[in-house]
Each structure stands twice: as structure tokens, then as C-alpha cells.
Amino acid sequence: MSKPDYLASLERDGFVLIPSILTPSQIATLRTASKETIDLARSSNWPWVRTLPKQFPPWNIEPGANPAAGGIWGVQFLMHPKLPNSSTFIKNYFSSAIIDVVKQLLECDDEDLVMELFNLLIRPDRDFELRWHRDDIEATATAEEELERLKEPAWHAQWNLSLYDDDSLIVVPGSHKRARTDVERNADPFAKDIPGEIKVQMKAGDVVFYNNNILHRGAYVSSKERMTLHGSMGHVGGSNLRARNVLQHGIGEWVSDIDLSVLNEKDQKRAEGMRERLISMGKYDQKTMGYSLNG
């Protein structure tokens, strides 16, 4: 039986939903690790969080302040060496279930892969929505500027892996290949009636890979449990084109200390190469690159 053509779906629609990449046992293990991590964050014992009502980094947490005081909707840095459950998340990020798909989507080999980001999107402390956006193109871009940016290779794969049923991600299929229409450009930033929009319906254990410049938004409900692993993995060809999106999150400060010995020998060797390629990107100055989006 031939492999599913995930790349064709991604190129056509801007996203591809892959069902059941986790076993029930893996889901249970990741849920336990995620709950403990969320409890740590909500109790102000993990400073790297996504704060309400901020939509994009930087998260503007004042030194010495309670990072969770105003509510949170995500936990950052799942592979950080100081996070108690980091080994569980490291094993998932570098698993063949993820990497085999990434290699098909990026049309590359192990030697081309670059370690990037791994975070946790959670039930917010109050209902919260993200505006319509493309991750690396400002809303103020002209149609010509949009098209120019959309023609560039993505050089990465981005995914949401749900541990509970999750329909928070809302996308406009095919919008990764074109400039916004007049309707999209002039719509309310939180409009709920954009033509063609769909909610991506994920069951526990499903993963959706998506082009981060597809027109998309998020709608998160405080009464519904959410534990969705949010990751990205790059291609060495991305160089400084990807550095802005990755280094804005500050992982260069601790990436060298990640304990990759929790992996088997083959996966560890591959992961070490991915980390080294990320570190080589660190020569680009985060302060001069700025942030992809603001708000």
C-alpha cells in the first residue's frame, strides 16, 4: 500500500489532517505530563507562558511578576531542561510519527532537519480568540507584498497535535496560495463569517500540519479542556528566513542543555544534528530581526 500523499493535501488546501498518530497509551502519558505542566504554569511556577489577552510574542512578562496573574492560554518551552516532564515531550517531538511526516512535507532527509519550537496550547482562563492572520505576514501588507511572501518556500512544517478533541483552529482552505480578497481584507479581525472558512475537527491523537501563512485564527473556550501540542520543525535551507520566527521565542538561551539522552541511539543522533543546525542559526541577532507579528 502506498503512503498517503500528505504533501499534495498540504499544497492544495494549506493543511493536512492526519488521524490517530498516537496510541491510547501515548495519549494517556502525554495528558499526564501536560496536566502537571499546566498546573505548574497556573500556579506561577513556570514563567514561560502565553498570557491573556496577548495574541503574539513577546509576552511582556515583567521580572518578578506573577506570569499567570492575568490568565494564560499556553505553556512555552516543553523541551526546556528545567521542565520536570521535558523527557516525555522530547520523545514525542523527535518521534518517527512526527518526523516521517515532516520529511515528506519538506521533501528532505534527516540531515536537512532543524529543531525548532514545541509548546502547549491549553484551555484559557477565560474565552479568548485570535484574530485572522498569517503568522509571518503583517495584516498591513498589500496584495503585492502578500503574493511576494507567499511565493517564498516555507522551509518548515508546523503542527497541532491534540490530546483532547479540538476544533479551535479555523482556516480558509487555499488561502496560502493567494492574496486576501477584498472581503477578507476589509472584514472585522474576528469575523465569524469569512467565505469558505472551516473549523479543523480534531479527535484526541490527531495531528494537523498547516502552512503558517494560511489565513487562520483561533477560538478557545474556557469551559472545554484543551491540551494541544504545538510544534514546528525546519529545513536547513531556511537559514535566516526562519530565524526570525524561531529565535523570537528565546529558545537559544537553553537549547544546548536539552537532555537528548532520553532518546534511543538512532533518534538521539538525529536530534543532536537537528539541534546543531538550530544553534548555527543563532548567529542571527534576534534584536535586529524583530517579531513577525505584534498584538
Residue-range domains of the chain with CATH: 6-54+65-284 (2.60.120.620)
Phi, psi (deg, nearest 5) at residue 169:
-85, 125
CA distance 185 to 208: 26
**CB neighbours of 234 closer than 8 A, spacing ≥ 6?**
113, 114, 115, 116, 155, 156, 157, 242, 246, 277, 278
Q: Are 121 and 78 in contact (CB under 8 A)?
A: no
In the prediction, which pLDDT does 2 show? 46
How far from chain centre, in Å, is Cα 266? 25
Q: Please give the average per-residue pLDDT across 68-74, as a whole number.
A: 93
In the prediction, which pLDDT does 1 show? 33
Q: Please give the average per-residue pLDDT across 248-264, as a whole number.
A: 88
pLDDT digits (tens, 9 = 90+) for 44-62: 999 999 999 998 877 767 7
Q: Are 84 and 36 in contact (CB under 8 A)?
A: yes
3-class DSSP assignment, residue 8: helix
| pLDDT greater than 60 at residue 94 | yes
CA distance 217 to 230: 14
In the prediction, which pLDDT does 289 show? 46
| pLDDT greater than 50 at residue 198 | yes
Strand order across the beta sheet in which 198-199 lies = 128-129, 216-220, 169-171, 198-199
From 53-57, 106-110, 203-207, the region with the lowest mean pLDDT? 53-57
What are the strands, taking DSSP E only, across 99-202?
Answer: 113-122, 128-129, 156-162, 169-171, 198-199
Task: Compute the mean pLDDT over every residue in the chain, rounded to the nearest whole number.
Answer: 91
**Is the model more confident about 60 or about 17?**
17
Q: Are 277 and 113 in contact (CB under 8 A)?
A: yes
**Is the model more confident about 243 or about 107?**
107
Q: Please give the average per-residue pLDDT across 118-126, as a whole number.
A: 97
Q: Strands 15-18 and 72-75, how do they pair?
A: unpaired
Kind and range of the H or E run holding 10: helix 6-13
- Joined together, the cell numbers standing for residue 169 give 483552529
In the prediction, which pLDDT does 288 show? 47
pLDDT digits (tens, 9 = 90+) for 259-284: 999 999 999 999 999 999 888 876 65
Q: Please give the average per-residue pLDDT across 140-153, as a whole number.
A: 94
